[in-house]
Amino acid sequence: MLSLLFKYIERFNTVFLRVGRQLAWLAIFLMVVVILIQVFFRYILNNALPWPDEVARFLMLWMTGLIAPSAYRWGGFVSIDVISKLLPTHVGNILALALLFLSLTILLIGFNLGLQHIKMGWIFESASIKLPWQLIGGKQEAMKLAWMYMSIPVGVFFLISVTIELILRNLISLLKPDLSMIMDTDKEKLES
């Protein structure tokens, strides 16, 4: 039961986080492009554009939301492990499990607050990002800030699914120490 649940959620994370990473690297690439456009227009053409600042921040927020869960899953969140390493394996595992549940609580509260934040975002409009619907025969429209606010809750959502995976991983290694668990190999590919 546990290991089946683990298998599904592991698969889910592997697939969706991979998509997230692809979008995130595109986002940082576009950020560079947007800022170069800003510099070019202001310094060379003497015409400061209103939108690059906000578009770049939009991209940075989405980059963070989309790729931070991968970092978390691969152990990229900074922590001090001197003391937990000194503990006997069993005690260390239980402590780790307790901390994972605490993280899960924080993330769930954060997700809920994020949803409320998004709700407010439908009221406010972006000052500078206009969606060019006129190009396809519609009317130009300011972007709702909710599209920007969504970035972090989306990230929190995947952080939650990663935390659940980590909890299951921990439980399984505690209950059935000899069961081998799959782990996606994308991290090694990235390092090479």
Partner 1 sequence: MLIWFLPLFLLFLLIGFPVFFSLLAAPGILLWLNDQSRDAAMLYRNIYNGIDSFPLMAIPFFMLAGELMNRGGITLRLVEFSQALMGHFRGGLAHVNILSSILFAGLSGSAVADTSAIGSMLIPAMEKQGYSKRFAAAITAASSVIGPIIPPSGIMIIYAYVMGESVAALFLAGIVPGLLVGISLMVMVRLMADRYNFPPATTKSTWTYRGKASLKAFFPLMTPVIILGGILGGVFTPTEASAVAAAYAFFIGLFVLKSLEWRDVPKVFTKAAMVSSVVLLLVGAAMAFKTVVSLSHAPEHLAAFVLSLSDNPYILLFLINILLFVVGMFLDAGPAIIILGPILGPVFVDLGVHPVHFAIIMSVNLTVGLATPPMGLVLFVASSVSGERVESIAKAILPFLLVEVIVIFLITYFPALSMTIPLLTGFTK
Q: Where on the chain is the footprint of partner 1 (CB under 8 A)?
A: 21-22, 24-25, 27-29, 31-32, 35-36, 38-39, 43, 53, 56-57, 60-61, 63-64, 67-68, 70-71, 76-84, 95-96, 99, 102-103, 106, 109-110, 113-114, 116-117, 148-149, 152, 189-190
Q: What is the DSSP string of 85-119?
A: HHS-HHHHHHHHHHHHHHHHHHHHHHHHHHHHHHH
- Residue 128 C-beta: closest distance to partner 1, Å: 12
For residue 121, give every residue at least 6 positions away whose Cβ sits within 8 Å of its Cβ, in sequence order, or none.
144, 145, 146, 147, 148, 149, 150
- Residue 139 C-beta: closest distance to partner 1, Å: 28
- Residue 20 C-beta: closest distance to partner 1, Å: 10
Would you say 3 or 84 has its CB closer to partner 1? 84
Q: How far is CA 127 from the centre of its chain?
A: 25
Would you say 99 or 172 has its CB closer to partner 1? 99
Would you say 83 or 136 has its CB closer to partner 1? 83
- Cα distances (Å, whole numbers) of residue 96 to 14, 82, 93, 174: 22, 13, 5, 11
